[in-house]
Amino acid sequence: MVRIQDLTFEEYISEERIFARTSQLAKKINVDFEGKNPIFLGILNGSFMFLSELFKQITIECEVSFLKVSSYENQTSTGKVRELIGLNKSIDNRPVIIVEDIVDTGHTLAFIKDKISSFSPSKVSVMTLLHKVAATKIPHELDYVGFEIDNIFVVGFGLDYNELGRNHRCILAKS
Ligand code: 5GP
Under a CB-based contact definition with an 8 Å cutoff, are residues 155 and 165 in contact? Answer: yes
Residues forming beta bridges with residue 67, ordered by sequence position = 43
The ligand 1 atom nearest the CA atom of 43: 10
| CA 100 / ligand 1 centre spacing (Å) | 10
Beta strands in the chain (DSSP E): 2-4, 7-13, 39-44, 63-73, 80-85, 95-103, 123-132, 144-149, 154-155, 171-174
Neighbours of 4 (CB within 10 A): 17
Enclosing domain of residue 141: 40-69+77-153
pLDDT (mean) for 104-131: 95
| CA 32 / ligand 1 centre spacing (Å) | 27
Q: Residue 118 domain-assigned?
A: yes
Q: Give residue-wise pLDDT tens across range 18-27.
A: 999 999 999 9
Domain count, the chain: 1
Q: Residue 17 domain-assigned?
A: no
Q: Give residue-wise pLDDT tens across range 49-59.
A: 999 999 999 99
Q: What's the sign of the alpha-carbon dihedral 148, 152, 153, 156?
A: negative
The ligand 1 atom nearest the CA atom of 159: 22
Q: Residue 127 domain-assigned?
A: yes
pLDDT surpassing 80 at residue 75: no
Under a CB-based contact definition with an 8 Å cutoff, are residues 128 and 78 in contact? Answer: no
Residues 6 or more apart in contact with residue 35 via CB below 8 angstroms: 60, 61
Q: Residue 23 domain-assigned?
A: no
Q: Residue 12 domain-assigned?
A: no
Q: How confident is the model at residue 175 (pLDDT cuts 50, 70, 90)?
A: very high
Share of residues in the chain with pLDDT > 70 (%)? 95
Phi, psi of 48 (to 5 degrees): -60, -40
Neighbours of 103 (CB within 10 A): 23
Q: Residue 105 domain-assigned?
A: yes
Q: Residue 2 domain-assigned?
A: no
Q: Residue 65 domain-assigned?
A: yes
108 C-beta closer than 6 A to ligand 1: yes
Please report, for the domain that includes residue 120, its CATH number: 3.40.50.2020
Kindly report whether the global pTM for this prediction surpasses the value 0.85.
Answer: yes
Alpha carbon nearest to ligand 1 atom 9, residue: 102
Q: How confident is the model at residue 82 (pLDDT cuts 50, 70, 90)?
A: confident
Q: How confident is the model at residue 129 (pLDDT cuts 50, 70, 90)?
A: very high
Q: Is 114 a catalytic residue?
A: no
The ligand 1 atom nearest the CA atom of 107: 2
